[in-house]
Amino acid sequence: MAPVWLPFLLLLSSLLKAQETPDSSPGVTVEADNSTGPYVSTSGPSGPSGFVPPSDPPTVQEDDWTPAESFLYSGDASALEVSRCSRAFSLSGQNAPSLPPSFSGPLRPALGALANTANFLNMIFQASDLRESTVQEDMEWYHAMVRALLEADMLIRRSLLTFDADPTSPEPQLVLCASRNPNAKVQTIILQDLSRAWEKLHPPAPAPDDSWFRNFKFPEPSQQSQPMSLSKRVLLNDLSTLDTPKWRQGDSYVTNHSGVRWADAPFLDCEDGLFVSDWMLTLSTAFYGLKPDLTPEFRGVIRVDVNIQDLDLDQCSEGDGWFSDSHQCNRTTMECIATPGQGFRLGQYCCRCRDGYYDPETIPQDSDGGSMNSSIEGVCYPDLPVCLPCWPGCSSCRDGTPCWVQQGGVAAGRRAHPAGAAS
Ligand SMILES: *[C@@H]1O[C@H](CO)[C@@H](O)[C@H](O)[C@H]1NC(C)=O
Ligand SMILES: *[C@@H]1O[C@H](CO)[C@@H](O)[C@H](O)[C@H]1NC(C)=O
Ligand SMILES: *[C@@H]1O[C@H](CO)[C@@H](O)[C@H](O)[C@H]1NC(C)=O
Ligand SMILES: *[C@@H]1O[C@H](CO)[C@@H](O)[C@H](O)[C@H]1NC(C)=O
């Protein structure tokens, strides 16, 4: 049994490697406040089970992240209940250029809501007189928008809006966050103003970083001229509703799904010192105003955190999605079969011997030569089958004895009975 756990541990350790903060600051010393315990956030504008920026400094002793890691395999929420956390836990980056294919359908409503909200804001800031007004004057609009975004899809657990009143500032001036409390009798939406808690929103790794914002505010130099996902629109006005239309024609930039960025890795939230037992994914997109030369100017980001716990991970799949092709089946002798319906969990697959190989530990139950159940499903992770080659010339077999080979070598062995059974 021991050897099959080795790949598990190797995979796990490689997942964790990138999480170690290289610039962990040893100079930070921490004064324990025993009265509240190190895990309870006491300061900050957080509401009950809202977005809880941890009080700084986060912990006295380093958290134990193992329960979060094993939850990725077990999916067993009770294992998380016994562990305390000081901040959210993000897996190390998957460096995968795409999300798993199984995500695209379920995430479509959230992606659409982000694109729609961004375009509403694009129009506000590029093509309306509201761009002249102040944040304070518009505050109620923003409140409504963040709350409404939460309702676009039940997978959305939290929505955020950042707004740069001053485009030269490295931090946004307005940060609003709406979150659900799904456990309340009547579903509750908690709205928080985190404008003065920007630093606390991004505690040290393994908590998720600020790339959901930074990648839009400070794009790579190659994209700096104009974000690729923006398309230009010419707006024509033929309005009888306005007494004094200011302009008849203007330019605007709009975005679509392709402008939405997803985080490098999923995360587990930490609320009131306890992990929330659902893996979450952060999606974000930016909205723009216009510079004096009428090119797009970054104004802010809207973000949603979606619950991906019920979305399947397929380690057998080919391609470049998260964890794809990360199974332990021997690719020469076995094929990998994913077990669907397990949600966001690793290790949900079985290995089956390929044609031309057999598993000596499978006891044939069916004497007709029909396919056996165990040979359909294979041996499931963390166990692996042993697959031995068939007798030379047999394209499939149940054991290592010679098979009847048909003349001409057509479909050799596929319907043949093992020679041993005849004698
Ligand atoms: C915290 O508790 C420890 C042991 O329980 C004690 O030695 C220490 O003085 C306490 N610190 C504070 C700030 O109360
Ligand atoms: C989204 O916008 C990009 C950039 O303008 C464009 O290339 C792409 O075709 C658009 N996608 C859809 C689905 O409209
Ligand atoms: C896969 O099985 C083949 C044949 O038994 C063996 O030669 C090879 O080393 C195995 N590969 C791995 C990665 O274990
Ligand atoms: C395999 O087993 C499952 C339940 O154990 C059963 O529902 C299924 O019909 C079996 N398939 C075959 C081909 O025997």
pLDDT at 224: 59
Q: What is the rounded distance in angstroms from the CA atom of residue 352 to the CA atom of residue 374? A: 9
**Which one is predicted more confidently, 423 or 209?**
209
Does position 54 have pLDDT exceeding 60, yes or no? no
pLDDT at 348 over 70: yes
Give the model's pLDDT for residue 422. 38
pLDDT of residue 25: 38
Distances, alpha carbon 288 to alpha carbons 130, 197, 210, 233, 412, in Å: 14, 23, 19, 13, 65
pLDDT of amino acid 327: 94
**Mean per-residue pLDDT, 311-325:** 90
The residue ranges of DSSP E strands in 92-248, in sequence order, are 156-163, 174-181, 188-193, 231-236
Predicted confidence at residue 157, as pLDDT, reads: 95
Mutate to test the pocket of ligand 1, among 30, 33, 34 (most ligand atoms within 8 A of CB): 34
Structure tokens at 273: 């010192």
Say yes or no to pLDDT of 411 above 80. no
Give nearest CA residue, ligand 4 atom 12.
Answer: 373
Q: 67-76, 124-133, 142-151, 179-188 — which is least confidently predicted?
A: 124-133
- The domain ranges of the chain are 2-54+63-307, 313-423
pLDDT of residue 210: 92
Return d(Cα 308, Cα 103) in angstroms, integer.
Answer: 8
- Highest-pLDDT range among 54-63, 120-129, 140-149, 175-184: 140-149
**Residue 183 pLDDT > 90:** no
Ligand 3, atom nearest to 387 Cα = 5
Most confident of 100-109, 125-134, 367-376, 398-407: 100-109
What is the rounded distance in angstroms from the CA atom of residue 216 to the CA atom of residue 198? 16
CA distance linking residue 150 with residue 157, whole number of Å: 7
**Which letter does DSSP use for residue 82 in this model?**
T
Q: Using omega within 30 degrees of 0 as the cis cutoff, is the peptide bond preceding 208 cis?
A: no
Q: What pTM was computed for the model?
A: 0.74
Amino acid letter at 329? C
Cα distance between residue 92 and residue 267, in whole Å: 9
C-alpha 268/C-alpha 266 separation (Å) is 7
Inter-residue contact 203 to 59 (CB < 8 Å): no
**Residues with a CB atom less than 6 Å from ligand 1:** 32, 34
Mean predicted lDDT score pLDDT of the chain: 78
Pocket test for ligand 4, best of 373, 376, 377, 380 (most atoms within 8 A of CB): 373
User: Tokens in use for 179?
Assistant: 């979150």
Closest CA to 216 of 114, 140, 308: 114
* Ligand 2 neighbourhood includes 19 CB (under 6 angstroms): no
For residue 193, the SS3 value is strand
Residue with more model confidence, 21 or 357:
357
Nearest CA to ligand 2 atom 9: 258
Task: Output the pLDDT for position 112.
Answer: 96
Question: What is the pLDDT, as a whole number, of residue 51?
Answer: 64
405: confidence class by pLDDT, cuts 50, 70, 90: low
pLDDT band at 364 (very low <50, low <70, confident <90, very high): low
Given this model, what pLDDT does residue 131 score? 65
Radius of gyration of the chain (CA): 28
User: Does the structure show a pLDDT above 50 at 111?
Assistant: yes
304: part of which helix (H) or strand (E)?
strand 296-307
**Per-residue pLDDT at 23 exceeds 80:** no
Lowest-confidence pick of 66-80, 100-114, 267-281: 66-80
Q: What is the pLDDT of residue 43?
A: 36
Q: How far apart are CA 14 and CA 30, in angstroms?
A: 30
Distance between CA atoms of residues 421 and 418, nearest Å: 6
pLDDT at 136: 82
**Nearest ligand for residue 376 CA:** 4
* β-strands 267-271, 388-389 pairing: unpaired
User: Looking at residues 241-266, what average pLDDT do you find?
Assistant: 83
For ligand 3, is residue 330 a contact (CB within 6 Å)? yes
With a cut of 70, say whether residue 361 has pLDDT above it: yes
- Paired tokens of 126: 């590029």
> What is the mean pLDDT of the segment spanning 83-112?
88
For residues 399 and 313, the model is more confident at 313
Q: In degrees, to the nearest 5, what angle opens at C-alpha 387 toward C-alphas 385 and 392?
A: 165
Query: Measured between alpha carbons, how far is 129 from 320 in angstroms, rounded to an integer?
Result: 44
Residues 6+ apart with CB under 8 A from 65: 16, 89, 206
Band (pLDDT 50/70/90 cuts) for residue 27 is very low
**Residues 6+ positions from 351 with CB-CB distance below 8 Å:** 327, 328, 329, 330, 334, 335, 336, 337, 378, 379, 380, 381, 384, 385
Check: CB of residue 269 under 8 Å from CB of residue 182. Answer: no
Q: For position 80, what pLDDT does the model report? A: 87
Cβ contact 103:280 at 8 Å: no
Q: What percent of the chain has pLDDT over 70?
A: 74
